[in-house]
């Protein structure tokens, strides 16, 4: 068909499945196993539906102000979007407009190459070392921009801020995006480097540590200049991105800092306990600082385990791709969910060996 010559063809990103089966244990998309802050439920119950007649604030001002205060930056340094996927896609479109390839790790968030393809951005991947770490020297070659998550996904490896700065200082002429979707589970943010680098964009999300994946809220922080360019593109694309409830409920979640720290603290302590127990069962994994563990078993193929877990109504993530096909990415759930997982694995491993 002739019209097909004019179609923008892309191979889409495959998101983790969202089944809704009774009794299932869902450890496949790194959601938070705990509810959002109590004030969020209260505010949701009081939501004024009449207000939905009107378009929401296109600048998400109330949410931006709360975030600016929380992160000690100016409101003009913050940009929000419909999940960090929206922010990242717009950032690719805005900042990666050169002819040289952008650089990112070979094992990383598998949406990066999809956005590069979608926005027709040349890209080159830089192999992680044998311990799944980024090699900063790889980012010294001429390029059109740099992006990497810290901690990385699906490995969970956290790079030191020295490594982050090494990459930044070698790339002052392009935009460097640090995707901090998982920074709240034990890492320290690169935000303090904003004072020194006006080409740094730090992206974060409400989907993991703030337990609001269903609300779709993401944001980024950078120099006023970077944020200004992002806004120019956003307002040329879709002015009203964050809906009214997302703006109001998101701001409420940020206000309850004690709850935020109790939730992330619980997830971190569960993660550390599960690491010990998985090791005893013959699993090995990079030392994750995220809310998931990227584990492989010494004897049992990951694909086989994935299928067995699925049959037991326990969903984890598996990719049949080079370098990562021997591991399962297991989201850290509640202690109870992880105990069910561990009981299943103990039994399965003992029978399989």
Shortest spacing between CB 353 and ligand PMP, in angstroms: 33
For ligand PMP, the binding residue among 56, 83, 105, 333 (CB under 6 A) is: 83
For ligand PMP, the binding residue among 80, 207, 270, 331 (CB under 6 A) is: 207
Q: Classify 2 in phi/psi space as left (phi over 0), alpha (psi -120 to 50) or beta.
A: alpha
In the bound state with ligand PMP, the residue whose beta carbon lies nearer, of 43 and 215, is 215
Stretch that binds ligand PMP, among 81-89, 186-194, 241-249, 307-315 (CB under 6 A): 81-89
Answer yes or no whether residue 89 interacts with ligand PMP by CB under 6 A. no
Shortest spacing between CB 109 and ligand PMP, in angstroms: 4
Answer yes or no whether residue 159 interacts with ligand PMP by CB under 6 A. no
For ligand PMP, the binding residue among 126, 153, 220, 274 (CB under 6 A) is: 153
Helix/strand/coil (H, E, C) string of 77-96?
A: HEEEECHHHHHHHHHHHHHC
Stretch that binds ligand PMP, among 78-86, 122-130, 305-313, 327-335 (CB under 6 A): 78-86
Q: Classify 220 in phi/psi space as left (phi over 0), alpha (psi -120 to 50) or beta.
A: beta
In the bound state with ligand PMP, the residue whose beta carbon lies nearer, of 19 and 142, is 19
DSSP per-residue string spanning 230-247: HHHHHTTT-S--S-HHHH
Hey, which residues between 173 and 192 contact ligand PMP (CB under 6 A)? 179, 181
In the bound state with ligand PMP, the residue whose beta carbon lies nearer, of 190 and 213, is 213
Is residue 308 within 8 Å of 170, Cβ to Cβ? no
Shortest spacing between CB 154 and ligand PMP, in angstroms: 8
In the bound state with ligand PMP, the residue whose beta carbon lies nearer, of 143 and 207, is 207
Task: Say how many residues touch ligand PMP, by CB under 6 A.
Answer: 12
Q: Can you state the angle between helices 244-255 and 61-71, rounded to 10 degrees? A: 20
Q: Which residues contact 119 (CB under 8 A, 6 or more apart)?
A: 89, 92, 93, 96
Answer yes or no whether residue 213 interacts with ligand PMP by CB under 6 A. yes
SS3 197: coil
Nearest to 91 by CA among 101, 100, 104, 81: 81
CA dist 210 and 264 (Å) reads 9
Whether omega for the bond prior to residue 151 falls within 30 degrees of 0, making it cis, is: yes
For ligand PMP, the binding residue among 84, 89, 189, 209 (CB under 6 A) is: 84
Count CB atoms within 10 A of the CB of residue 117: 16
For ligand PMP, the binding residue among 25, 27, 73, 85 (CB under 6 A) is: 85
Q: Which residues contact 184 (CB under 8 A, 6 or more apart)?
A: 208, 209, 260, 264
Hey, which residues between 92 and 111 contact ligand PMP (CB under 6 A)? 109
Write out the residues near ligand PMP by the rule CB under 6 A: 83-85, 109, 149, 153, 179, 181, 205, 207, 213, 218
């Amino acid at each position: 068909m002739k019209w097909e010559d004019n179609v923008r063809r892309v191979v889409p990103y495959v998101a983790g499945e969202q089944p809704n089966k009774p009794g299932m244990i869902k450890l496949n998309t790194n959601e938070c196993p705990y509810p959002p802050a109590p004030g969020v439920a209260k505010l949701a119950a009081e939501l004024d539906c009449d207000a939905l007649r009107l378009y929401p604030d296109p600048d998400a001002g109330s949410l931006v102000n709360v975030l600016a205060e929380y992160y000690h930056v100016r409101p003009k340094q913050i940009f929000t979007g419909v999940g960090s996927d929206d922010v990242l896609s717009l950032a690719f479109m805005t900042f990666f407009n050169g002819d040289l390839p952008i650089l990112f790790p070979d094992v990383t968030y598998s949406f990066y190459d999809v956005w590069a393809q979608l926005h027709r951005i040349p890209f080159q991947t830089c192999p992680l070392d044998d311990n799944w770490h980024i090699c900063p020297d790889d980012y010294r070659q001429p390029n059109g921009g740099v992006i990497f998550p810290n901690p990385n996904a699906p490995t969970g490896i956290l790079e030191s801020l020295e490594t982050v700065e090494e990459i930044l200082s070698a790339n002052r002429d392009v935009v460097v995006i640090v995707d901090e979707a998982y920074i709240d589970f034990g890492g320290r943010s690169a935000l303090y480097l904003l004072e020194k680098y006006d080409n740094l964009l730090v992206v974060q999300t409400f989907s993991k540590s703030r337990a609001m994946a269903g609300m779709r809220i993401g944001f980024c922080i950078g120099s006023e200049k970077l944020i200004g360019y992002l806004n120019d593109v956003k307002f040329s694309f879709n002015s009203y991105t964050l809906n009214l409830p997302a703006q109001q409920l998101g701001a409420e979640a940020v206000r309850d800092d004690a709850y935020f720290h109790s939730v992330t603290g619980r997830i971190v302590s569960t993660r550390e306990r599960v690491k010990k127990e998985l090791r005893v069962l013959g699993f090995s994994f990079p030392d994750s600082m995220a809310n998931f563990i990227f584990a492989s078993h010494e004897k049992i193929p990951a694909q086989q385990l994935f299928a067995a877990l699925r049959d037991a109504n326990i969903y984890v993530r598996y990719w049949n791709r080079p370098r990562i096909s021997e591991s399962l990415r297991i989201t850290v759930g509640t202690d109870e969910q992880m105990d069910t997982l561990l009981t299943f694995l103990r039994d399965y491993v003992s029978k399989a060996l």
